[in-house]
Amino acid sequence: MREVAIIGIGMMKWGELWEKSIRDLCVEAALNCLKDAGTDRVDSITVGTMSSGLFTGQEHLASIVPDYLGTKNAPAMRVESACASGGLAVKSGFMEVASGLSDFVLAVGVEKMTDVSGGEATYALATAADQEWEGFHGVTFPGLYAMMALAHMEKYGTTREQLADVAVKNHFNGSMNSHAQFPMKVTREQVMNSVMVADPIRILDCSPITDGAAAVLLTTVEEAQKITNHPLTVISGIGHATDTIALSQRSDLYSLKAVEIATERALKMAGKTIENIDFAEVHDCFTIAEIMVMEAMGVVKPGQGGPATSDGFSSLEGSFPINPSGGLKSKGHPVGATGVAQIVEAVNQLRGLSENRQIKNAKTALTQNMGGSGGSSVVHILEVK
């Protein structure tokens, strides 16, 4: 298996991008990525998107992207794993390069979510849940994560204040990210007094509806050494796992087994332990998700995610920084793009180019992307070679 490096990263400011179509978003992110890489060579393309048909009416992005990028006839494929579609696109690109099938693979993640009403967006997102046992009965993702939060509170004593502190931390980080949809700071009181969505989840516990795209260019280490002027960043480990799609079929509601297994697999492939990781970008679709992910990855023991957040353990200057980008909470969550954007942030940090939110001496990163309520998860380990 060939060693795989990331030589280009690209995205744009995320938000409600009314003037841009889904193809515009893909092309802008891809061109920014190729410019960063210093090459326009693309042998193949992987596109991660969750529900482009429901959000925009446009399927067949495997044709749209190479067509409008100017790489017509390039082989391309679309991959989907709900909100983990972006991470899966990067994994798919990695496999093409590692196997020798392609030398330069462009992995793009995208979602255009604001062209439909709030109700239609809620329906599109709910397709990542079990339609027979959850969606049919009216359960939405705030409701599912609210049940998970209540179970976690009951089991471990996690508090409403600790949930709020996740949002406070991530908005602080995102306030220094020029790509973030909501780059403003919030207080614990603002979070706890914001509109209730599904008790105990409030609106400032939730990631937003977002338009955006991100892209990375993957190649072999040998090719990268000929081209890049950046510190050489390699993907040394990948883990991928699934769990039951319905919460009711799991052994408990306060842990994330797919995250645990995917992390174990990624660390084993990289030959590392969680103690070797300098920081992580994780899937904080709701504040409780970040707390549960911390625990599932082994960053802290079960039940300690809330206290660790409030104590500053996961802050930019803490022992294990989490979501220096601002996470989904502040940066935004165009569902198919999130996993790729996590890679973009990790590479930027490893290059030492994240300015006011730069993590000191960052050499090894982990990204964790998750579908639905934890029904799937993809983990990548990146390091400077």
The answer to whether the beta carbons of residues 151 and 253 sit under 8 Å apart is yes
pLDDT class for 337, splitting at 50, 70, 90?
Answer: very high
Domain final position from 227, 262, 284? 227
Distance, in Å, from the CA atom of 171 to the CA atom of 163, rounded to the nearest integer, reads 13
DSSP E strands in the chain: the ranges are: 4-11, 44-48, 76-79, 104-112, 196-198, 201-202, 211-220, 233-242, 279-281, 364-371, 376-384
- Asked if residue 206 has pLDDT above 90, the reply is yes
Same-domain check for residues 217 and 148: no
DSSP E strands in 125-274: the ranges are: 196-198, 201-202, 211-220, 233-242
Parallel/antiparallel/unpaired status of strands 376-384 and 104-112: unpaired
Same-domain check for residues 362 and 286: yes
The answer to whether the beta carbons of residues 191 and 204 sit under 8 Å apart is yes
Distance, in Å, from the CA atom of 52 to the CA atom of 88, rounded to the nearest integer, reads 16
- Asked if residue 242 has pLDDT above 90, the reply is yes
Same-domain check for residues 131 and 176: yes
pLDDT score recorded for residue 332: 98
CATH assignment of the domain containing 89 = 3.40.47.10
Is the pTM value of this prediction over 0.85?
Answer: yes
pLDDT score recorded for residue 355: 83
What integer is the mean pLDDT of 306-316? 98
Same-domain check for residues 45 and 156: no
Lookup: tokens for 117: 């009403």
What integer is the mean pLDDT of 254-273? 98
Q: What is the pLDDT of residues 126-156, one digit of tens each?
A: 999 999 999 999 999 999 999 999 999 999 9
Same-domain check for residues 307 and 297: yes
Instruction: Based on the residue annotation, tell me whether 83 is a catalytic residue of this protein.
Output: yes
Lookup: tokens for 320: 């294990």
Catalytic residue chosen out of the listed positions 179, 240, 333, 380: 333
pLDDT score recorded for residue 51: 96
Q: Which amino acid would we find at residue 120?
A: E
- Asked if residue 50 has pLDDT above 90, the reply is yes
pLDDT class for 16, splitting at 50, 70, 90?
Answer: very high
Catalytic residue chosen out of the listed positions 83, 179, 283, 380: 83
Same-domain check for residues 112 and 123: no
Q: What is the pLDDT of residues 102-125, one digit of tens each?
A: 999 999 999 999 999 999 999 999
Same-domain check for residues 155 and 286: yes
Same-domain check for residues 71 and 218: yes
Lookup: tokens for 300: 């802290």
pLDDT class for 301, splitting at 50, 70, 90?
Answer: very high
What strands lie across the sheet with 233-242, from one edge to the other?
A: 76-79, 44-48, 104-112, 211-220, 4-11, 233-242, 376-384, 364-371, 279-281
Same-domain check for residues 192 and 171: yes
Nearest 5°: the CA angle 205, 209, 210 is 120
pLDDT score recorded for residue 187: 98
In percent, the amount of the chain with pLDDT more than 70 equals 100
Q: Where are the alpha helices (DSSP H) in 208-273?
A: 221-227, 257-270
pLDDT score recorded for residue 96: 98
Please list the residues that pair with 242 across neighbouring strands.
376
Q: Indicate the number of domains in the chain.
A: 2
Write out the residue range of the structural domain in which residue 167 sits: 119-208+236-384
Same-domain check for residues 34 and 141: no
